[in-house]
């Protein structure tokens, strides 16, 4: 058990170390691409808390992502750069507040009804920014100046610089991953695991499951808002598609592809999904077929889910089992001979 835990921690540490060293050899395009994937990884971690840890399949998670992004733009001054701490807290707080509102009502339902109610709330938020002047309609809105952290009037962290934005995103990813790892090993995390396994039994043992699920929903929404904040600041532009059901479906695919029930799976799934998307969009490889990239991506995901029931994170264990089966089979044949 300790060896397995140590190997998992070593794998995560090596991955984060590689991400920290990546800007030393990357160009501007690669830096932007990996930065975007890290934002998606934070977004996937937020949904993993709900689906993988608590068993709540939310199909409206993009609402929190989009609210965090829109808050970052709408709450910024017209010309001057906003203060990073206050803008970050406001964006995360706005997403968490909407998650509290959504969760307080949707968590009173279960199963497919819960899925549909979360989708309805997300679509409501989508049409607010799509059909009103608040979000600029289909054209979206631009961020005039990226936030800055200043001490005594001297800027010490300017997110307008590509490398600074990259490392700030990486720091947020490390903080979210570490925070969720600690959370899931706490009494609160064990209660969520119990709710996922058998909520009726948890109630019978004296747990009031609703507050636990609502707390998990709000924390998840706040983390998704953080991812949206990073996305809005990085691109300097937001549009209603950030709240669409397409993005909710995409992040759900990420955690399924990586492997449900594992924080590492959310990271692996986000990177795998984004890199597969870039691969099938490549005209240098697929030529004219690249415009039909969604077909290739869809077929690959279907094949991955069919062949990897535990996701990419379970691939090493699956290989070990097959290898062990072959060794046992060879031993049995040897004994019969």
* pLDDT of the residue at 296: 87
Q: pLDDT tens-digit profile of 30-66?
A: 899 999 999 999 999 999 999 999 999 999 999 999 9
Asked whether 147 and 76 are in contact (CB, 8 A), the reply is yes
Q: Which CATH number fits domain 24-297: 2.40.100, 1.10.3470, 2.30.30, 1.20.950?
A: 1.10.3470
What pLDDT shows up at residue 78? Answer: 75
Show the low-confidence residues of the chain (pLDDT under 50).
Answer: none
Confidence at residue 325, expressed as pLDDT on a 0 to 100 scale: 65
Q: Which residue has the tokens 């004296």?
A: 206
State how far the Cα of 313 lies from the Cα of 265, in Å rounded to an integer.
Answer: 5
The domain spans of the chain are 24-297
Tracing tokens 């339902």 back to the chain, one arrives at 109
Prediction pTM value: 0.91
Q: Which of 62, 100, 131 is nearest to 213 (CA)?
A: 100
Predicted pLDDT of residue 328: 64
Dist. CA 15–CA 7, nearest whole Å: 12
Q: Are 176 and 270 in contact (CB under 8 A)?
A: no
- Give the pLDDT confidence score for residue 25 in this predicted structure: 85
Note the pLDDT of residue 44: 96
Residue 159 burial class via C-beta count within 10 angstroms: exposed 0-12, middle 13-18, buried 19 and up: buried
pLDDT (0 to 100) of residue 333:
54
Rounded Cα distance between 155 and 254, Å, is 36
DSSP 288: G
């Amino acid at each position: 058990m300790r060896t397995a835990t140590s190997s998992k921690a070593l794998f995560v540490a090596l991955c984060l170390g590689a991400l920290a060293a990546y800007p030393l050899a990357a160009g501007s395009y690669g830096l932007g691409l990996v930065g975007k994937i890290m934002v998606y990884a934070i977004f996937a971690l937020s949904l993993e808390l709900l689906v993988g840890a608590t068993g709540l399949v939310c199909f409206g998670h993009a609402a929190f992502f989009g609210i965090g992004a829109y808050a970052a733009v709408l709450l910024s001054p017209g010309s001057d750069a906003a203060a990073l701490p206050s803008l970050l807290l406001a964006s995360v707080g706005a997403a968490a507040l909407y998650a509290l509102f959504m969760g307080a009502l949707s968590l009173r339902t279960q199963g497919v009804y819960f899925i549909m109610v979360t989708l309805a709330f997300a679509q409501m938020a989508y049409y607010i920014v799509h059909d009103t002047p608040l979000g600029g309609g289909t054209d979206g809105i631009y961020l005039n100046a990226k936030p800055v952290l200043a001490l005594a009037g001297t800027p010490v962290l300017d997110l307008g610089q590509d490398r600074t934005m990259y490392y700030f995103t990486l720091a947020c990813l490390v903080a979210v991953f570490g925070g969720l790892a600690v959370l899931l090993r706490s009494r609160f995390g064990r209660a969520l695991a119990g709710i996922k396994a058998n909520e009726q039994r948890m109630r019978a043992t004296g747990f009031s499951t609703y507050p636990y699920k609502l707390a998990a929903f709000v924390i998840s929404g706040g983390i998704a808002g953080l991812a949206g904040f990073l996305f809005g600041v990085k691109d300097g532009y937001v549009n209603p598609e950030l709240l669409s059901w397409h993005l909710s479906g995409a992040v759900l695919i990420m955690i399924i592809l990586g492997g449900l029930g594992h924080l590492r799976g959310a990271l692996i799934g986000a990177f795998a999904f984004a890199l597969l998307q870039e691969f099938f969009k490549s005209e240098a490889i697929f030529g004219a077929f690249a415009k039909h990239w969604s077909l290739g991506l869809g077929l690959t995901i279907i094949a991955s889910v069919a062949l990897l029931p535990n996701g990419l994170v379970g691939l090493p264990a699956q290989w070990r089992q097959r290898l062990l089966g072959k060794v046992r089979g060879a031993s049995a044949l040897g004994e019969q001979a």
